[in-house]
Chains A and B, each alone.
Chain A
């Protein structure tokens, strides 16, 4: 057993030792003359402005997630289509049905995403305040105002 995995173990050990050595040595050997300017965070060579913990719109995250979904779809479909062309008929039918179900679900989800305006950069959220209160005005008052997307972004 050991002989099979020994090279890997050696590799892991060597890399760990090298990493540790680099960090430790530079910390031990390096000169430490800190000035306020030096210890400030690096930001494109300019003096930092404002708080580092800045809020940014969750839209970015949302778009990224949706993008990943498209990725996954392509991965599934691509691998399926490579097998599909040479397969016997019954497999074609069966796998076609399975992929069909998958695509239907995917399309419904996609339609939903578009319908609620998740891809609409100007609309805020899928909140539906009018469902809470018969009076839409009161609903708007009851809920916090949507955070506007900051002009100019990050």
Chain B
């Protein structure tokens, strides 16, 4: 009987995920004993845990990159940046969640634990090159999000959206699993670059199966990233979920899924000529459908849901530009845009969460009326977030889109660049509608009289606003940070293939 060799353990590589996981467990233990009548202890512990996790990511930037645990965990630039981002997003979400949960009377104590585990799932997704680990992360993230979506039990819409998300999520997951199986079949490998092995094997039917599996894998990832035509759950779920969960989900799920998509697409480089047209059209459809459908929405969260679809399209453009011309286009602008997207989405949803009052969700545009008087700071920051979502210079949204635009041109993807520019202009219409709702007091509109924003929310909003300023002011440096050229940190596409 032969035994697998015991792998050397790279504690650093798994430290962030472990810390977040353990924090969740500790929070669960605290919840078990219910020491107080409020969640303050849990929030405090969670924030400390997230902070520690963030700290454990930072030194890894200077450690040797590569994979450990037999390829199950990988340390590279993409993974570290996205991990840091996921942790930050979770941190901000926790800052403003408690007041919202109280205002909406959501007595679901496990929000913090589940959100922490969802974050951990996302972090696993972006730091692995193993398909099974990837699947594990996907499911940890997904199942936690299903529960969170339905956590507002007195609201039918929340329950309904949870059910929809669960059913469609299961449907999507099935494709991922099937895809993994088809990749494993011909190659016997669970590595993310199994496609390359299949191509290298020179067996035509192996390539056929691998391509089939690869396509199914893409379907699952497109579902998670909310790309057209697998986007339809997005507006319903965004609208139904409690706003803090929407914020968390919009950022975390998108970041993790796009991170994984980057790896999968980069690993699929040998077959690029086959799948490229597909992703090309997926990107175009996402941008067009997302932006145009958002035009006719009457609900802020639905609008932001469609906006998320469109933003997924923008990110896909950046990824495709990288995959198309990895020697010319680095992943920096993708990471830049994702970072900006995470920050501004969190900020916008945090402000929108103020519309909830007295146990009810208020997310129609008219529910935002009068927010300017009630919470001038938050409303003021909302302008900033929305301006960034539109892409008004000099916000981070503008720089992000500009970098992607340039990348697309550099990679020779002119149609994508054009669609990006045009749909961005279209998006201004509905984004400005949000601002209008905040400032314009229409005759006879229901005035929202709920309480003033609490310190946590203001802090969260302030952090996001500062981040937007910081990132846009230092856009050049951030971009440089995200694309270090030297010491073997070559683009993902090359490395993945090279290390096979």
List residues of chain A with CB under 8 Å of any chain B CB. 1, 83, 86-88, 90-91, 94, 105, 108-109, 111-112, 115-116, 125-134, 139, 142-144
Interface residues of chain B: helix, strand, loop or mixed (majority) = loop
A69 to chain B, nearest CB (A): 13
Question: Which of A116, A126, A132, A134 is packed against the most chain B CB atoms within 10 Å?
Answer: A132
Q: Which residues of B contact A90 (CB under 8 A)?
A: 6
Instruction: Output the least CB separation between A143 and chain B (Å).
Output: 6
Complex partner residue of A131 from B32, B38, B154, CB under 8 angstroms: B38
Are A143 and B109 neighbours in the complex by a CB distance under 8 Å?
Answer: no
B500 touches A (CB below 8 Å): no
**Is B105 positioned at the interface, with any CB of A under 8 Å from its CB?**
yes
Cα distance A142–B34 in the bound complex, in angstroms: 20
In the complex, what residues of A have CB within 8 A of residue B108's CB?
127
Tell me the minimal C-beta distance from B358 to chain A in angstroms. 9
- Across-interface contacts of A131 in B (CB, < 8 A): 34, 37-39, 107, 109
Query: Do A108 and B110 contact each other (CB < 8 Å), given the known contacts A88-B3, A130-B37, A131-B38?
Result: no
B29 at the interface (CB under 8 A from A): yes
Nearest residue, chain B, Cβ from A2: B205
User: Which residues of A lie under 8 Å from residue B205 when comparing CB positions?
Assistant: 1
Measured in the bound complex, the distance between the Cα atoms of B359 and A133 in whole Å is 12
Cα A152 to Cα B243 in complex, Å, equals: 39
C-alpha spacing A144/B107, complex, angstroms: 11
Q: Which of A109, A111, A128: most chain B Cβ within 10 A?
A: A128
Contact of A132 among B34, B102, B110 (CB under 8 A): B102
Question: Is B25 within 8 A of A129, CB to CB?
Answer: no
B94-105: contact bitstring with A at CB < 8 Å (1 yes, 0 no)?
000000011001
B6 touches A91 (CB 8 A): yes
Q: Interface residues, chain B, CB within 8 Å of chain A?
A: 1, 3, 6, 25, 28-29, 31-32, 34, 37-39, 101-102, 105-110, 153-154, 205, 359
Cα(A36)–Cα(B6), bound, Å:
69
Contact B109 A86 (CB under 8 A): no
What CA separation (Å) do A2 and B102 show in the bound complex?
A: 64
Which residues of the other chain, A, contact B31 by a CB distance below 8 angstroms?
A: 112
When the two chains form their complex, are residues B3 and A144 in contact, meaning their CB atoms are under 8 A apart? no
Distance (whole angstroms) from the CB of A149 to the closest CB of chain B: 17
Rounded to whole Å, the gap between the CB of B376 and the closest CB of chain A is 27
Given contacts A128-B109, A131-B39, A143-B107, contact A94 B154 (CB under 8 A): no
Q: Which residues of B contact A144 (CB under 8 A)?
A: 154
Cα A35 to Cα B38 in complex, Å, equals 61
Q: Can you identify 16 A-B contacts, CB atoms within 8 angstroms?
A: A1-B205, A91-B6, A94-B6, A105-B25, A111-B32, A112-B28, A112-B29, A127-B153, A128-B34, A129-B107, A131-B38, A132-B102, A132-B106, A139-B105, A139-B107, A143-B154
Minimal beta-carbon separation of A85 from chain B (angstroms): 11
Smallest CB separation, A89 vs chain B (Å): 11
Contact A126 B37 (CB under 8 A): no
- The verdict on A134 contacting B3 (CB below 8 Å), with A128-B107, A143-B107 known, is no
Question: Could you tell me the distance between the alpha carbons of A142 and B154 in the complex, rounded to whole angstroms?
Answer: 10
Instruction: Select from chain B the residue with minimum beta-carbon distance to A109.
Output: B28
- CA gap between A116 and B113 in the complex, in Å: 15
Residues in B neighbouring A94, C-beta threshold 8 A: 6
Contact of A134 among B28, B37, B39, B106 (CB under 8 A): B37
Cβ B3 vs Cβ A143 within 8 A:
no
Q: Which residue of A lies closest to B154 (CB)?
A: A144
Q: A21 CB to closest chain B CB, in angstroms? A: 29
| B-chain residues with CB within 8 Å of residue A134 when the two chains form the complex | 37
